[in-house]
Copies of this chain bind each other. A is one copy, B any other.
Amino acid sequence: MKKLINTPSESVRESLEGFAQAHPDRIKYVADPCYLVRADAPVQGKVALVSGGGSGHEPLHAGFLGPGMLDAACPGPTFTSPGPEQPQAAAKAVDAGAGVLFIVKNYSGDVMNFEMAAEMHDSESATVLVNDDVAVEDSSFTSGRRGVAGTVGVEKIVGAAAEAGQDLASLKSLGERVNAQSGSMGVALTSCTMPETGKPTFDLPADEMEIGIGIHGEPGRRREKLAGADEIARTLLEAVIEDLKPAGGQRVLLLVNGMGATPLMELNLMHAAALRALEPHGLDVARSLVGNYVTSLDMAGCSLTLTLLDDEMIRFWDAPVNTPALRWGC
């Protein structure tokens, strides 16, 4: 294992400390129970958004803390759900009286622990479950579909709506709509390696890729010989389009998301490949985002996400956001 770490079991904590130290004016880090909040929380007059999940997917979720996106993030150990006491404490810290919306990726541990946190929260709360991965039904850590990079769109759009003063029921409904209109599929060129185990999560021969990979290295749909970017883009996007069944001319957000070890040069190239792959489908790519947003430690590869957009979603996507990992308009 070649990683920039000290003691493997301390990597998550040390990384969170370094992250908070890099953003002292915008992030507050609480060590035990572990959660991070935007520095101006609790923010009066808005519903508080709380997310979280296993570490190893940075910048998700703590990188999305700030005006226009999340109020609190609860990082678990690497690829492991946070305990229920984390979202419970985080929710208490950020709830300014308008209630709390939990945004939870669909993994069994996350679902269970955020549900417990919601039950223990002593004022109004609701939950949006994200399950945008079209690759497989059920998986190592999941009943039903996995939540992956579509989470970025849900957190951005619902975050802007919360900032605009929408109430809890409206935000839950909006979040579920964004999720239902989002589909993702990923490809791995290499495995990832958890600091705590020091060994690749799975074996992938030098000339093969895994189509439909999960963000923890869970199995995808199939192994194939390594293909070119254009063919990969077609394979991933055809699966997403088959799932979402967009009408011709439909406006979409295209997210080209790196898995952690794939450089921007390749992600930009994949963006061009994705646009080519979308051409025959007659969609209107109204917005694009290219970069490392929902990673899988040091996995090489990417995922492609389409979110079908309407006027309200575009307005909230474009709205100002001021977080460590996503920043525009402010």
Contact = CB atoms under 8 A, between A and B. Distances in A.
Given A22-B288, A268-B19, A262 B232 contact: no
A15 B265 contact: yes
Interface in A203-247: 206, 209, 226, 228-230, 232
Contact of A15 (B269, B302, B330): B269
A281 interface: no
A140 interface: no
A308 interface: no
A129 interface: no
Contact of A290 (B18, B230, B265, B267): B18
A58 interface: yes
Given A264-B292, A297-B263, A297-B265, A4 B271 contact: no
Interface string A265-309: 111111111010000000000001110100101101110000000
Chain A facing B: main interface SS: mixed
Contacts of A58: 263-265, 268
A322 to B, nearest CB: 8
Contacts of A228: 5-7
Interface string A1-38: 01111110001101111110110000000000000000
Contacts of A97: none
A14 B269 contact: yes
A228 B8 CA distance: 10
Contacts of A271: 18-19, 21-22
Interface in A164-222: 189-190, 206, 209
A153 interface: no
Contact of A4 (B2, B3, B189, B328): B189
A327 interface: yes
Nearest to A17: B272
A45 interface: no
A56 interface: yes
Contact of A269 (B4, B288, B298, B330): B4
Interface of A: 2-7, 11-12, 14-19, 21-22, 55-56, 58-59, 63, 189-190, 206, 209, 226, 228-230, 232, 256, 260-273, 275, 288-290, 292, 295, 297-298, 300-302, 327-328, 330
A-B pairs with lowest CB-CB distance, top 4: A18-B272, A18-B271, A18-B268, A260-B263
